[in-house]
Amino acid sequence: MALQKDELDFLIAMHRRLTDQPLEPDDPVREPIHEELDDSDPVALLAFEVGANPVESLQLFSGFRGAGKTTELWRLRKQLRDLGYLVLYADAMDYVNPAEPIDISDMLMVIAGAFSDTLNDAIGTDMARESFWDRLKNFLTKTEIRIGEAGAKLDYSTPAGAVLGSLKTGVNIKAELKTASSFKQNLQKFLSGHLVDLKAEADAFIEDGVKAIWAARGADTKVVFIFDSLEQLRGSYLTWKDVIQSVQQLFTVHIDRLRLPYVHAIYSVPPWLRYLPNSSPVPITILPTAHLWHNDADRTPDARARAVFRSLLYKRLKPQEMARLFGPAAEAPGGPLDRLIGACTGHVRDFLRLVQEVFKRARSLPIGDDAITSAINAERRALAEIPLDDAKWLFEIGETRTHGLLTADERSVERLSNFLDTHRVAYFVNGESWYDLHPLIREDVARIVARAGAKDGT
């Protein structure tokens, strides 16, 4: 039976309410998942570390795709502001290309540039009437003069000549850093021999910025800089290995260069960084997935976590709307909500998207079991295209509840990261850290592995 127009309009309106996006802490639809479920709230850990260091600090924060990392960083921002900190926040994707390797010179420029861009808005004044991008051009020009005085030949066959010639024609350095242009490559080559000077220039700018904050807000003002979205540095099919290596270099070899004078710096980083050999000497605080089941043989449902997921849905949809959508059996054991929550790993984004998929497939109100089954099957099909080698690894993860990473080479780390990013595998923390398979692929993985074993005679 076809939906009536008012029923279709109602479903579309409900669908829009479930659009996933980062939420401010005081948003009425935000559910305090990690405050409620985590033994150690990651935001509380980050905030404590800031408070424990009176002058400056460096922290790394991460979460797998869809875990709600930005929402949690916004909660941290509010919590610190309520304590009197001046918190500057910037999105790294406004400055870098996630598909390209990132050099330490790139990172120093974008950090100082992002600090500059957010600072003027924060203190309500034009700091020294000069942005970092302007100062960077002046720095490069002064470096040209110094090189020239040392007798170096500056023509367009050299990196310096190519860079400085472009600057004179009005190149936009900030825009170029998001590309794979020849200018960016020449700039990297040029600055590779001037990292000490570039770091000193960036630090001097940030120090001037802190002094401007103190002049505007008082000398006891403590400054926090949150640089979000660096976890999106994952490369393309052709560049993933180079990107992994470049990120590893940044947060190991160059980690001390990422410290900022008189600033508590918090960088979001790719979660796969923790699996690499010689991983960062700075511990990474990881945002886990909400565990909808316990780490036992039967995967006993976690009643508290399921109640939280029911609550987050009811914060978006009113009780009378839920009744119209699912009828009086919505909350019944084994009813619509139980089925939908049971088909998820604990990622809010996945749960909301699955409910939206049910709305799309509904052919009547209240929504029938056939629409719920159809939506769950569609999600299963999207996850179940698994090569044999991956299925064997996934099967081991489900059996051992560990990540099963045997070697920390780039290819293995990239494969494990793909499992986690696609949510075929989830990372949980409750007392201890553990891993498990998405509930919709457990049977498929076991079937693939059993079929392969039968063929091999094992």
Kindly report, residue by residue over 278-304, the tens digit of the pLDDT.
777 899 999 999 999 999 999 999 999
Check whether residue 51 and residue 159 sit in a common domain.
yes
Is there a domain that residue 33 lies in?
Answer: no
CA distance to 18, 184, 202, 417, per residue, from 179 (Å): 34, 7, 21, 25
Is there a domain that residue 105 lies in?
Answer: yes
Percent pLDDT > 70 in the chain is 91
Check whether residue 365 and residue 422 sit in a common domain.
no
Q: Are 426 and 299 in contact (CB under 8 A)?
A: no
The pTM score is: 0.91
Among 382, 406, 439, residue at a domain's last position: 382
Q: Are 347 and 426 in contact (CB under 8 A)?
A: yes
Check whether residue 361 and residue 395 sit in a common domain.
no
Confidence grade of residue 154 (pLDDT, cut at 50, 70, 90): very low
Is there a domain that residue 51 lies in?
Answer: yes
Is there a domain that residue 103 lies in?
Answer: yes
Over residues 158-171, the mean pLDDT reads 65
Is there a domain that residue 28 lies in?
Answer: no
Give residues with Cβ within 8 angstroms of 85, minimum separation 6: 50, 221, 222, 223, 224, 264
Check whether residue 146 and residue 230 sit in a common domain.
yes
Over residues 127-132, the mean pLDDT reads 71
Over residues 87-98, the mean pLDDT reads 95
The answer on pLDDT for 151 being more than 50 is no
Q: Using one digit for the tens of pLDDT, what is the confidence trace for 300-359?
A: 999 999 999 999 999 999 999 999 999 998 888 999 999 999 999 999 999 999 999 999
Confidence grade of residue 183 (pLDDT, cut at 50, 70, 90): confident
Check whether residue 95 and residue 111 sit in a common domain.
yes
Among 382, 404, 436, residue at a domain's last position: 382
Over residues 232-236, the mean pLDDT reads 83
Is there a domain that residue 25 lies in?
Answer: no
Give residues with Cβ within 8 angstroms of 122, minimum separation 6: 86, 88, 213
Among 270, 287, 304, residue at a domain's last position: 287
Q: Are 86 and 222 in contact (CB under 8 A)?
A: yes
CA distance 61 to 270: 9
Is there a domain that residue 29 lies in?
Answer: no
Over residues 413-438, the mean pLDDT reads 93
Domain that holds residue 305: 5-18+294-382
The separation between CA 213 and the C-alpha centre of its own chain, rounded to angstroms, equals 29
The separation between CA 36 and the C-alpha centre of its own chain, rounded to angstroms, equals 21
The answer on pLDDT for 127 being more than 70 is no
Strand, coil or helix: what is 355?
Answer: helix
Task: Report the CATH number that the domain containing residue 136 is assigned in CATH.
Answer: 3.40.50
Give one word for 40, left, alpha or beta, with left for phi > 0 and alpha for psi -120 to 50.
beta
Our CA angle for 334, 351, 93, nearest 5°, is: 170
Check whether residue 373 and residue 394 sit in a common domain.
no
Look at residue 321 in the predicted model and tell me its pLDDT: 97
* Residue position matching structure tokens 């009536």: 4
Check whether residue 273 and residue 419 sit in a common domain.
no
Q: Which two tokens stand for residue 235?
A: 């490369």
Strand, coil or helix: what is 385?
Answer: coil
Check whether residue 49 and residue 132 sit in a common domain.
yes
Cα Rg of the chain (Å, integer): 25
Over residues 181-193, the mean pLDDT reads 84
Task: Report the CATH number that the domain containing residue 413 is assigned in CATH.
Answer: 1.10.10
Check whether residue 133 and residue 110 sit in a common domain.
yes
CA distance to 20, 337, 343, 379, 426, per residue, from 355 (Å): 12, 9, 11, 11, 20
CA nearest to 115, candidates 82, 139, 91: 91
CA nearest to 226, candidates 64, 99, 60, 95: 60
Peptide bond into 261 cis (omega under 30): no
Is there a domain that residue 32 lies in?
Answer: no
Our CA angle for 155, 161, 165, nearest 5°, is: 110
Look at residue 147 in the predicted model and tell me its pLDDT: 47
User: What are the DSSP calls for 153-197, one per residue?
Assistant: --STTSHHHHHHHHHHTT--HHHHTTS--HHHHHHHHHHHT-HHH
Check whether residue 191 and residue 312 sit in a common domain.
no
Number of domains composing the chain = 3
CA nearest to 14, candidates 360, 379, 311: 360
Check whether residue 70 and residue 149 sit in a common domain.
yes
Residue type, 356: Q
Check whether residue 92 and residue 182 sit in a common domain.
yes
